[in-house]
Amino acid sequence: MMTRPLRSKLFVPGARPELFDKALAGDADALSFDLEDSVPAEGKAQARSAVAKLLQGDAVRQTNKLIIVRCNPVDSAHFASDLSALSGAGLELLNLPKVETVEQVREVAGRLQEFEAARGAGASTSLLLNIETPKGLRHAAELAAAHPRVAGLQLGLGDLFEPYGIARRDLANVHAAMFAMRMAAAEAGVFALDGAFAAIDDSTRFEAEAQMARRLGYLGKSCIHPRQVGMANRIFGPDADELVDAMRIVEAARIAAEAGQAVFTVDGRMIDPPYLKRAQDIVAAARGAAQ
């Protein structure tokens, strides 16, 4: 389980270094510096250099934000250079787009290990896999379990829906994809993160998707504009009533354990291990958000 808050993840174009400091000073829990879709081919090298320089600087070392970089696809001409520049630079999460095979995940993990070993660094970079193709969604559980470096899965509805004429306005379609990926993440024991919503001015639909993701156990939502960050932080933040209830369950579990009981009741509800685990996760997440 991710113990640090990940309510909001703000995309920051790697080709826009003038935005880096502002993003670091903002309210997003995580920042994803992008080397893929927001960077034209002729600007890849410059963006890569700017992001690598940022990772090695004091601003990143001093921040409590989760730092992520979305590289170019594994089968692209830019991937090898991305990996070389980013590995060993203290990057916490490498976001792999359009992942479809276990072999891709293991290849990246192996190459990361080689780069880190060559630079005398320990294994420090985990993987966040984008599930954004039909094949990727079908194999999501296998991808998530492909290597211990995989920390989470991120849903990408733009690539998953748009090429095939799937209407994103129909929340039944969104729910189907969210549920499938969430079950894959649960099977592998990794976290699930919701993808971006492109209509910056449509706060109603952003919130509807975010609320759905929260109810399905997603940790947070990707944001493409700072105005979306506050909404994500609010929606995925601890619910006061939920937290109070979870704390009562955890305390009741402590008392029951002292009495040698594995099952107990709270307000007439039977609490057994699955419900206790959920309560413990809620309390842990609230403590992480308060740090």
Nearest CA to 195 out of 165, 176, 219 is that of 219
137: nearest Cα among 191, 105, 168, 181: 181
Closest alpha carbon to 70 in 45, 46, 38 = 38
Q: Which of 62, 61, 79 is nearest to 70 (CA)?
A: 79
In order of their start, the domains of the chain are 8-236 (3.20.20.60), 240-290 (no CATH)
For the chain, residues with pLDDT lower than 50 are none
Determine the angle formed by the axes of helices 226-236 and 203-215, rounding to 10 degrees: 30
pLDDT tens, 242-258?
889 889 999 999 999 99
User: Angle 102-118/79-86 helices, nearest 10 degrees?
Assistant: 40
Give yes or no for a contact between 95 and 67, defined as CB atoms under 8 angstroms apart: no
Q: What angle do CA 199, 3, 106 make, to 5 degrees?
A: 80
- Predicted TM-score (pTM) of the model is 0.89
Query: Tell me, what's the pLDDT at 262?
Result: 87
Nearest to 9 by CA among 212, 191, 190, 187: 191
Rounded to 10 deg, the angle between the 273-290 and 240-258 helix axes is: 120
What is the model's pLDDT at position 212?
Answer: 98
- Give the ranges where 12-101 is alpha helix by DSSP (H): 20-24, 44-55, 58-62, 79-86
Q: What is the pLDDT of residue 278?
A: 86
Q: Is 223 strand, coil or helix?
A: strand
| pLDDT at residue number 51 | 95
Output b/e per residue, 16-45; b: 16+ Cβ within 10 A: bbebbeebbebebbbbbbbbbebbeeebbe
Task: Note the pLDDT of residue 285.
Answer: 76
Is-contact 144 185, C-beta < 8 A? yes
